[in-house]
Structure formats: C-alpha cells, structure tokens
Chain A
C-alpha cells in the first residue's frame, strides 16, 4: 500500500518551472529520498506535498488525502520538519512540544507522557527545561523531529534534515531516523543533497535535477544501472593536449571526465584499467602523480543521469556567475 502518491506535480513561478511533471509513489514503511543539488526543486516539491505551496498542475495523495481537496486531512496525517529551524528559540524544548501538541489537539491526559517519551527518544530529556536558543544545531534538529511526531503521524517529511550539522550530529540524526522507522513504523520522505546520506538512509532514491525526475530506484540498483562498477581517479603531470581522448580508449573504460585536474574513468574492472593507464602514461612520457580505484558511488549515478556532478550542480544551482569578483 502506498503512503504517498505523487501524480504529475508541476509548479511554475512565472516563466520559471521549479518542478516539472514529477510522479512517484512511496510505500508504507519506506524511507524515500529526494536527491538533488540546491535549487533542483526538492523543497518546492515537498512544500506542495505538505500543502505549503499550491501546485500549478498535478496533485499528490498523502495517506489517501488529496493535497488539493483535503489539505486539512493531509496536515493531520503528516509530520513535517522544514528545512529552516522552526522551533521557537524563546521557549523551552518542553514548551515547544506542548504548544504543538495543543495545536494538533492532542488530549491533555496524553500530552505529558507523549512529550516525555518523544524527548527521551531524541535524547533531549535532560534539556527539556532549557531555552531552545541555547541549543546546538544538532539538538534543535532533534527537537524538531520530536515535535514533528507529537501527533503520532504515520508519515514524516524531512527537508534536508542534516544541512548545516557537524558530522557527529549528522550521524546522530541518521540513527534517530532509522530508529523511528523501526519503532513507529513510519513512512519517511526526506530531501538531501548529501550522497552518503541518501545512500545510507534511503530504501529508494529519486534523483531530481532542474525540477525533473532524472532517475528513481534503490541505491544499489541505481549504481548497477550505470556503466562500470568501479571508478579510477588519477592526476597527471606533463599530459599532452589530447590526453583525455587517449584515455577514452583504455581497457574496460566507460567514458572519461575531468574536474579540478582530477581525471575520473568509470570502469567495469578497475585494476585492469589502472594497468592500462600506467602503460599508456609510460609510453606517452606522462607522469602519474596519483591514482586510486573506487567502487561506483551515487555521485557517479548523478553524473550519469544528469550529465554533471552534484558538487558542480550545487555550486551552479542558483545560476549566479560571481567569477568576476575574484579576478
């Protein structure tokens, strides 16, 4: 049974198409990731599904409630943790939970136990009386996740839940999301621009770029779907002008790209490609400064389906050219 059904959702802001005809389903109990760079349309998509922004066309059904005709039903069924911190810094953790419990109409006799259990589950019980403005980013994010669950929803939306957090806090949030899924049998939809986050957390991933759905599958199948199982990365010195063209012909190679002086060669057999690379470099008088073999990552998947790397896309996401500032 599907908890989320996204049906040809489109959002236009004037001439700009932020989300273009996106459709997918999320099964009950699944962790589903929307992966894409900043400006790809992930937040707009999640805002449409959470009734914060009206779609231009298409619709979505959340727990059977249509976002166009039954926004109230959608809001009752969902827990939403927006990208920005929305907990009130001038209130304590406890008060933030209490106010939200009241807004959702949680019965008074259940509130105390519920808030206690939720704060305990996000490891904030001992800070329940502290003002939120004294919290670190990781603590605030954990509080917001607990707050999003105060009405016991079956579906949780998290918009970039670990953006801006340090590595330890990110790992902490990941563990919490996994634990919540196990304990509360939640369906979770999250957006991220972190490859490792999508890879480690999500059962399925939808790659979104320029407002369009570029690919959708499990992380393993996505990696299997692209040419090559390995990627050879190397740096050279004294390379001739046609060096990249020469590398295209290497054994087991499946195309060559270059970024910041690092050449990346997807391959079906990394060691064989490295051996051929070393032979070619020796014969051409090119010095190999560095070489490594990695297994295929979601970065390669993103590159394959969008034609660019996620870090390029992220940097160019807003479309502003600021290079003149550094000349």
Chain B
C-alpha cells in the first residue's frame, strides 16, 4: 500500500470540496437549523395552556382552590383559567380542542372537606398531547400537595425527605441536542461524499480513469474514506464551534476539550463514511443513495439518543441503537460538550467507533470491485 496514492485521492476530494461552498454549506446548514429550531421548540416549559374550571360548590374552600389556580396563571403561567358554569359545556370544549383540561370542584367538596371525608376534585385531561397533559398534571398535583400540607407543622417529624443535588447547572434542551446536530453534520458529509458523490463519479465514468492506474483497491478505498473523514472533521468541528456558540456551551475554547472533541469528530467521521462506503460499494445507480438518504437518516439519527434518551426505547429499538455508530458519537460528544468529562467519558465510545470502522473498511475492501 502506497500512501502517496491515498493522499492523491484525498487531495483531489479536498480541492473539490473547498471549491464547492454549496456542498460545504449544505452539510452544515441543515444540522444548524435543526439545532436551533428543535433546540428551542423542544426545550421550553409549557406556558399558556387553557384549563377550564367548574366550581359547583361555591364555598370558601372551593374559592381557595380557585385562588390557587389564579396564582399559577399569574406566576409560572403554565395555564390560564377559563371559568365554566356547567361541567358538560366544559367537557364539550375539551373534546373540541378548545381547552387542554377541565378541573371540576363538585358541589359536595366543602361538605366532605369539613367532615374529613376525602374531599375530591376531578381533573379531566386531553391526553392526546403527552407533553402538555403531563406538565398540567404535574402542576395540579403540586397544588393539591400544597392544599394537603398541614397549616401548622408538627414539632417532631418522622417523614423521609429526599434532597436532590444536581451536579451540573440547568441544561437547556439546545445544549442536550448539540451532540446530535454535530453527528448529523458528519452524517450528511458521509452521505454526500461516501454516497452521492461516489456513485455519481462512478456513473460519470470518472472511476475508470483511476482504475487504469496502478492504484490498489485498498488504496482506493482508503483514499476515498480518508477524504470523507477529513471533510467530516471539518464540517463537524465547524458545527461544534458555531453550534456551541449558539447553544451557549460554557468554556467552549478550552483547548483540551477542543482536542478531545476533534478526536471524537474524526473517529466518528471515519466510522460513518466507512459505513456509507460499505452500503454503497456495489451500487451503480445514482438514484439509490438519494432514495435511501431519508431512511438511513431516520434509522441512524433517532435511535441514537440524539433527541430522546435511549433508555426510553423498546428492546428492538435499543438493539438498533447498540449497533448504530451515531449512538457512540452522540454519547461521547454529549459527555464533552455538556459534562466536559475529558478522556474518561469518551474512550469507550472512541474504541467502539474505531472497531466499527475497522470492520466496515475491511468489508468494503473485500467487496470493492477493482474491475468493471
């Protein structure tokens, strides 16, 4: 194997890549837009939901509950309150999508309260939107807990208390998503360089020009993967910096962390480009990589834990995440961008990605056809 032939192929691709700003931009703009839009769309707390309140009791106690609702509407503003005269009208509006939940204070609420007979209020929710319904339920539950708290605390308490210690400052969702966006930028470069451009060049006959030279198929595969990896490193690091600034990652310019980030981005680039190369190694039709782009994107990006924790997945989806190079890329990048763990938090991921790359490259070389 001669390194000068590998470097010639890398040089060829780099010259083309640097000459084509459209290609560079397309590999970075989509992940950046995704980072900003999804980061802010998914990261916020629920504000301004509509809750209908039906007070059938009209008592001092029910008024106290109403005041607590008004307090939430004025304070955290999770929801605003709409008063209803009848429960049936409120439920009709709930079914029609006009409001998100209904609180019913029944006519015997105060009676049961004074008789200490488990007074109840009803919370009817539109559970088609899990995010809003769980936020409303959490808020209402909190309010009920406050109602149940004794007016005078006993002098001696024997309750177990949970003291929560958060070891990192509050992490906005955009920071959580950044690792996935960097991985996405690498994936797009791999898809364009290892998939679309590779097949297009093959279809245009450009490969024949290389196959008549003394280049060995190992050199050809290594050269094409090497070129893709360098492009992936460039795109990934640009996204790390720009995305890191947008997401507000603290101490972004820490040189040690940037060094570790560049290692993860480089290894992830090799893994993804070699995976893409293996998928495309026997493909001749230029439509194929374009057709499977969306499928591969969905199959690799979402099971990786980039947008949602892997721990929430069903077993079959966890299996995909285990063999998905995105998973280890996202895990290592997240450890560095959010936790700044250093080498301890990334070395397993880096080793897995390297092992994955070796298998992909070996299989690609074995399957690559040196002859037409």
Instruction: Count chain B CB atoms within 10 A of each CB in A54, A72, A104 and give the residue with the most.
Output: A104
Closest residue on chain B to residue A108 by CB atoms? B4
Give the total of A residues in contact with B, Cβ under 8 Å. 28
Q: How far is the CB of B238 from chain A (nearest CB, A)?
A: 21
Closest residue on chain A to residue B5 by CB atoms? A103
B residues 100-132 in Cβ contact with A at 8 Å: none
Contact with A along B1-42 (1 / 0, CB 8 A): 010110111011001100110000000000000000000000
Cross-chain contact of B212 among A78, A87, A88, A102 (Cβ < 8 A): A78
Instruction: Count chain A CB atoms within 10 A of each CB in B5, B204, B372 and give the residue with the most.
Output: B372
Please indicate the chain A residues that have their CB under 8 angstroms from the CB of B372 in the complex: 47, 52-53
A residues 79-99 in Cβ contact with B at 8 Å: 80, 82, 84-88, 90-91, 95, 99
Please indicate the chain A residues that have their CB under 8 angstroms from the CB of B4 in the complex: 102, 105
Task: Report if A51 contacts B (CB, 8 A).
Answer: yes
Task: Report if B172 contacts A (CB, 8 A).
Answer: no
- CB-based contact A52/B19 at 8 Å: no
Q: How far is the CB of B216 from chain A (nearest CB, A)?
A: 8
> Roughly how many angstroms separate A104 CA and B204 CA in the complex, as a whole number?
22
> Roughly how many angstroms separate A104 CA and B215 CA in the complex, as a whole number?
8
- CB-based contact B205/A54 at 8 Å: no
- CB-based contact B215/A103 at 8 Å: yes
Please indicate the chain B residues that have their CB under 8 angstroms from the CB of A268 in the complex: none
Q: Given contacts A47-B372, A86-B206, are A102 and B214 in contact (CB under 8 A)?
A: no
Q: How far is the CB of B29 from chain A (nearest CB, A)?
A: 21
Q: How far is the CB of B296 from chain A (nearest CB, A)?
A: 25
B residues 196-235 in Cβ contact with A at 8 Å: 204-215
Closest residue on chain A to residue B223 by CB atoms? A103
Q: How far is the CB of A81 from chain B (nearest CB, A)?
A: 9
Give the total of B residues in contact with A, Cβ under 8 Å. 26
> Roughly how many angstroms separate A308 CA and B78 CA in the complex, as a whole number?
88
Task: Report if A181 contacts B (CB, 8 A).
Answer: no
Contact with B along A53-84 (1 / 0, CB 8 A): 11000000000000000001001101010101
- CB-based contact B209/A82 at 8 Å: yes
Task: Report if B148 contacts A (CB, 8 A).
Answer: no
- CB-based contact A103/B205 at 8 Å: no
Q: Given contacts A90-B20, A102-B5, are A52 and B209 in contact (CB under 8 A)?
A: no
Task: Report if B163 contacts A (CB, 8 A).
Answer: no
Task: Report if A191 contacts B (CB, 8 A).
Answer: no
Task: Report if A100 contacts B (CB, 8 A).
Answer: yes
Closest residue on chain A to residue B209 by CB atoms? A86
Please indicate the chain B residues that have their CB under 8 angstroms from the CB of A147 in the complex: 209
Q: Given contacts A52-B372, A82-B205, A82-B208, are A104 and B15 in contact (CB under 8 A)?
A: no
Cross-chain contact of B371 among A54, A72, A103 (Cβ < 8 A): A54
Task: Report if A50 contacts B (CB, 8 A).
Answer: yes
- Extra A-B contacts (15), CB below 8 Å, given A82-B208, A95-B15: A47-B372, A51-B371, A52-B212, A72-B214, A75-B212, A78-B212, A86-B205, A90-B20, A99-B9, A99-B11, A102-B11, A103-B214, A105-B5, A144-B209, A147-B209
What would 22 A/B residue contacts be, using CB atoms closer than 8 Å?
A47-B372, A51-B371, A52-B211, A54-B371, A80-B212, A82-B209, A82-B212, A85-B205, A86-B206, A87-B206, A87-B209, A88-B206, A88-B209, A91-B12, A99-B9, A100-B213, A102-B4, A102-B7, A102-B8, A104-B214, A105-B2, A144-B209
Q: Which 9 A-B pairs have the closest CB atoms?
A: A86-B209, A84-B205, A102-B8, A80-B212, A75-B214, A103-B213, A90-B16, A99-B12, A82-B208
